[in-house]
Amino acid sequence: MWERWRIVVMLAPTLAIILVLFFGGLGYGLLVSLGWQPEIGNRQLSLAAYRSILFSEQHAPVFWSGLGLSLWISIVSTVLSATIAIVAALLLRQTFVGKRFATFLFQLNLPVPHIVAAIGILFLFSQSGLLSRAGAQLGVISSPGDFPLIVRDPSGWGIILSFVWKEVPFIGVIVLAVLQSLGANYEDLARSLGANRLQRLRYVLLPLIMPGVLSASVLVFAFTFGSYEVPALLGVRFPRVLPVTAVRFFRDPDLNARPEAMAVSVIISIIAFVLIFTYMWISRRTIRKE
């Protein structure tokens, strides 16, 4: 009897902390988004905060523009990161001189915090950064102000560049691990049946590595969609991504703006949950079909 419950008992403290912190914070945020603020005398629950950020003339433009920018940055960052990671993993899989060193360089920025990556992008690619000043000194551009607007542009390309630089090795390491576990047997079999290199890539390798790519891509999308520090440092004042909008509401001296902040946060969580459950449904359906 004890053997059956031993693992549950051993994991109980850790699971309790995770459940209390995660679901406790989520539940508190949901309550505040519904207007529950007993510290200022608000105890009646309503959807006023959601109606305000979704439909009011004051907050709706900020929310919908932020949602569009957040989706744009997350989708483009995830697609670019996954594509570059697959190409890099396929190249690093080959045998060549310096492969170990190239693999080391590919994984080098994995432990670098995202805020450090954002500061590096700011110093390098801003119109007062290193590259703009170097270009002006070399005569490539007439002045640093003529450097292309990459950092703090309305389309978020500086944010996307920072995320891609950080997430490519994350996805690439997963793809490399999958490729190493597969070996060369599948490709050899396809080659013996007359498949060329492109056909082996299209019909053998990509279907085999796609579950790992999708799993990593979901994590990257969820992280970039809910990230605050990189968009706050590299983004513009309008439009703001949703996490930055939520923090702006939260920092409002008027505590009556706190429900709007929590409502934005809850919507971010709902979108992330929908994405994860959609991925799980697609994965189970694919496995069942195979």
Note whether residue 271 is domain-resident: yes
What does the block give as tokens for 32? 């505040």
Residues 152-158 have a mean pLDDT of: 90
- Domain count within the chain: 1
Note whether residue 16 is domain-resident: no
Note whether residue 161 is domain-resident: yes
Name the pLDDT band for 288 (thresholds 50, 70, 90). low
Instruction: Give the residue with greater pLDDT, 29 vs 281.
Output: 29
The model carries a pTM of: 0.86
Task: Supply the pLDDT for residue 237.
Answer: 83
Give the structural domain span for 164: 34-289
Q: Please give the Cα distance from 45 to 103 (Å, whole number).
A: 55
Note whether residue 225 is domain-resident: yes
Note whether residue 4 is domain-resident: no
Task: Supply the pLDDT for residue 50.
Answer: 93
Query: Is the C-alpha dihedral spanning 79, 85, 90, 91 positive or negative?
Result: positive
CATH of the domain at 204: 1.10.3720.10
Note whether residue 19 is domain-resident: no
Residues 163-169 have a mean pLDDT of: 94
Note whether residue 270 is domain-resident: yes
Task: Supply the pLDDT for residue 283.
Answer: 67
pLDDT of residue 168 exceeding 70: yes
Amino acid identity of 26? L
Note whether residue 7 is domain-resident: no
- Of all residues in the chain, the percent with pLDDT exceeding 70 is 96
Closest by alpha carbon to 263, among 20, 25, 35?
Answer: 35
Could you read off the pLDDT of 220-260 as tens digits, one per residue?
A: 998 999 899 999 999 888 889 999 999 988 888 888 888 99
Instruction: Give the residue with greater pLDDT, 212 vs 285.
Output: 212
Q: In Å, what is the CA distance from 73 to each residue of 67, 154, 167, 181, 210?
A: 10, 11, 13, 32, 22
